[in-house]
Structure 1
Amino acid sequence: MTRFSPARSRRPWWVAAVTGLVVLVTGWSTGVPDVLTEPLRAEFGWSRGTIAFAFAVNMALYGLTAPFAAALMDRIGIRRVVGGALAIVAAGSALTAAMAESWQLLLGWGLLVGLGTGSMALTFAATVANRWFVARRGLVSGVLTSSSMFGGMVLMPLLAWIVHHEGWRIGAVVVGAASLALVPLVFLVLRDHPGEVGARAHGAAEFTAPPARSEGAARRALVLLGNAAKTKGFWLLAVTFGICGASTNGIMMTHFVPAATGHGMHVVVAASLLAVMGVFNIVGAAGSGWLTDRFSARWLLVGHYGARAVSLLVLPLFMGSGVGAGMIVFTVVYGLLDLATVPPTIALCREFFGADNGPIVFGWLSAVHALGAGAAALSGGVLRGLAGSYTAVWLGSGVLCLAAAALSVRLGTGVRSRAAGGAFPAAVRV
C-alpha cells in the first residue's frame, strides 16, 4: 500500500501543469475551422455548408465523447485514455493533411479529431481538479478549462501564419505533431489519484488511498445520465450550457475570422483578436473560479450570461475593416466572459450530483455544450450563405444568452434524491 509522503505535496501542481498543456494543445485544434475554411474553398471549391458540416461533426463528437471518456478514466486510468486520445488526434490530423475529397475531411477532422479531442474535453480538466485539489478547486478548474480557449485563440495567429505561408496541409500536420509530442509527458507525469504516488490532494486534511477501479464505464455513464435526467436541475444546466456552446465555440471559433475578413479585415489581424480573447479567457475563467469558491454559482451564471448577451448584441456595430475602440472593448469583454460560465457549472454539478458523479454528469453537459456549438457552427454557415451577412448570427446568439441568464435564476440549492446504485444530491429547488 502506498504511504503518504509530505515531500510530494507539489505533485498536484505538476499534474495540473501537464493537464493544462494537454488541454491547451487540444484547444489549438478547435481554432482550425477559422483558418482552414477559406483555403479549403479556394483549393477544392467546396461550399461553406459542406466544410461547416465536417467541423460541426467534430464539435458534436467533442462533446458526446466526453462523458464516456470520463467514465473510462475511472475504468482504465487517465494516462491511457489521454495518451490514446492524443494519438488519435495526430492520426486524424495526418489524414486531413493528405485528403483530396470532402468525405475525408469528415472522417479525418470530423470523426477522428472529434473523438480524440472529446476524450480530453473540459471533463478531463474537471476530473483532475476534482481528484487532485480540495482547496482552490474552483480556481484550478477555471485555469485548466481556460487553457482550451487559450490554445484555440492565443495560438491562432501562429496557426494562421503557418497556413498563410506554408499552406493548410502543413498547419494540420503541426497540430497533429504537437499532440503526439505530449504523449511521453502524459505517461511520465499524470496519475489517476494522489494516493497512487503517496501524495495528498492539495488542501486535503488527510491522505486518501486510491479508490477501486470502477467497472462498466459506458454503463455507468448512461445510468448517471438517466438518473440526472430525472431532475430539473440537470435540464436547466443542460439548456444553459448548450447555449454557452452555441454562443462561444459554435460562432466565435468557427465564424469570427470569416466574418471579420468579410468586412475587409486581414486574416492575421482577425486571428490576433481571437488571440487577445484567449489571453483574457485565462483572466476571466480564473477570476470566475476564484469567485465560485466564495459566492453563489447560480448568480454568477446569471451575470455571466447576461453580460455575454449584451456583448454579442452590440458586436455588429463594431465589425469593419479596421480595429476600432469598440472592437477592442468587445474583444476584452468577450474574452473575460467566454469561459467564465464553466467553473460555476462544474461547482453546481458537484453540488447537485456529488463529488464522484459530478465530473461524469458534467461530461454530459459538455456533450450538450458541443451539440450547441455544432448546431451554431452549421446554422451560422448556412445563414451566412443565405443572407450574405453574419449579423443575424450575432443577434440570435445574444438573444439566446439572455434566455440562459433567465433560466439560471431558477437554479437553487441542491437537495437529496435517490438514484440507482446509491443516493446522490441530484435535484434542485426551482
Structure 2
Amino acid sequence: MARNTKTPRRGRVFYGWIALAGAALVYFTSSGTFFYSYGVFLPTMCDELGWSRAAMGAGLSLGLLTFGLPSPLIGASITRFGPRVNMVLGNLLAALGLVGMSLSHEVWHVYFFYGGLVGLGTGFGLYIACTTVVNNWFIRKRSLGMGLIIAAGGLGGFAFPPLVTWLISTIGWQMSWMVLAGINFTFAVLIGGLIL
C-alpha cells in the first residue's frame, strides 16, 4: 500500500474565508436596511403622511417580532435547505417588502410590508443563516469568524443611517426605500448568494 507523502500546497485561499466574506456582506446589508434605517425614515414619513410616531414605530416592533418568533422554523429550514437558500429567499422577501414600503400610504401598509415581509425575510436571511455559515466552515477560528460577522452588522449600523439621511434629503422617502431594496437585492441576494 503506497503512502501519500506529498505535502499540501500552500497559497490557496481557504474557501471558508470567501464564504465568511459573503455572509458578512449579507449581514452588513441586511442589518443596515432592517435594524438601522427605519428610524431615519420615521420622522419624514410621519410628518408627510400625518401618522403618529407611535403608530409607525409599531411597524418596527412588529418587524422585530416576525424576525425573532419563527426562529425554530428558521433553524429547521436551514438544517433542511442550507444557509444559502435561506439567505437568498429571505433577503428577496425583505427586498420586496422594502419596495412595498415605497408605496405605503396607510399605516397598515407599513405593518404588512415592514412588520411582515421585511421582518420575516430578514429573520430567514440574517442572523441564524450567517452564523451557520461560520459554524459550517470554521473550527479553530470560529470565534474570529463570529466576531467578523457581528462586526459587519455594526458597520451596517454605522454606514446606513447617514446614507439614508442623504437619500431622503436628495430623492425623497419613497425612492429611498426603492434604493434600499436595490441595495439589499444586489448585495444580500445576488452577490452574497453567489459567494456562498
Interval containing the TM-score (normalised by the shorter chain): 0.7 to 0.9
Q: 1:121 to 1:53 in 2, by over 3 A?
A: same
Aligned counterparts of 2:161 and 2:74: Cα–Cα separation in 1 = 27
Shift of 1:5: 9.4
Q: Are 1:122 and 2:127 matched, yes or no?
A: yes
Partner of 1:93: 98
Residue deviations 1:2-23 (CA, integer Å, cap 9, x gap): xx99886520000000100001
| SS of the residue 1:31 aligns to | coil
3-state DSSP class of the match of 1:167?
helix
Q: CA RMSD in A?
A: 1.9
Deviations 1:378-415 (A, max 9, x none): xxxxxxxxxxxxxxxxxxxxxxxxxxxxxxxxxxxxxx
For the Cα contact (< 8 Å) 1:66–1:121, is it kept in 2? no
Q: Normalised by the size of structure 1, how large is the TM-score? A: 0.41
C-alpha contact 2:83 2:132 (8 A) present in aligned 1: no
Amino acid in the other structure paired with 1:42? D
- For 1:122 and 1:81, how far apart are their aligned partners in 2? 11
Q: How far does residue 95 in structure 1 lie from its aligned partner after superposition?
A: 0.8
1:123 Cα deviation after fit: 1.8
Alignment of 1:184 with 2:153, yes or no, is no
The structure 1 residue matched to 2:31, chosen from 20, 27, 32, is 27
Between the aligned partners of 1:5 and 1:74, the Cα distance in structure 2 is: 33
Could you say which residue in structure 2 is the equivalent of 1:45?
A: 50
Please, which runs of 5 or more residues in structure 1 have no aligned partner? 191-430
Q: Is the 2:83–2:133 Cα contact (8 Å) retained in structure 1?
A: no
- Structure exhibiting the larger radius of gyration computed from Cα positions: 1
Distance in structure 1 (CA, Å) of the matches to 2:9 and 2:103: 50
Structure 2 CA distance for aligned equivalents of residues 159 and 84 of structure 1: 24
Higher relative contact order (CA 8 A, sep 6+): 2
CA contact (8 A) 1:97 1:173 kept: yes
Aligned partners of 1:160, 1:20: CA distance in 2, in Å? 23
Q: How many Å apart are 1:135 and its aligned residue?
A: 1.4
- The equivalent of 2:18 in structure 1 is 14
| TM-score, normalised with respect to structure 2 | 0.88
CA distance in 2, matches of 1:65, 1:5: 44
Alpha carbons of structure 1 residues 25 and 187: separation in structure 2 relative to 1, 3 Å = closer
SS of the counterpart of 2:158?
A: helix
Aligned mate of 2:148, from 127, 143, 152: 143
**Which of residues 171, 179, 185 in structure 2 aligns to 1:166?**
171
Task: State the match for 1:428 in structure 2.
Answer: none
Count of residues in Structure 1 that have an aligned counterpart in Structure 2: 187
CA distance in 2: counterparts of 1:170 and 1:105, whole angstroms: 16
Quick one: which amino acid aligns to residue 21 of structure 2? A
Distance 1:5-1:47 versus aligned 2 partners, 3 A rule: farther
Q: Is the 8 A contact 2:95 2:184 kept in 1?
A: yes
Kindly, what percent of the aligned residue pairs are identical?
Answer: 26
Alpha-carbon distance between aligned partners in 1 of 2:12 and 2:82, rounded to the nearest angstrom? 21
- The structure that is helix-richer by fraction is 2
Change in CA separation of 1:168 and 1:135 when aligned onto 2, cut-off 3 Å: same
CA contact (8 A) 1:28 1:148 kept: yes
- Contact between 1:66 and 1:120, CA under 8 Å: does it hold in 2? no
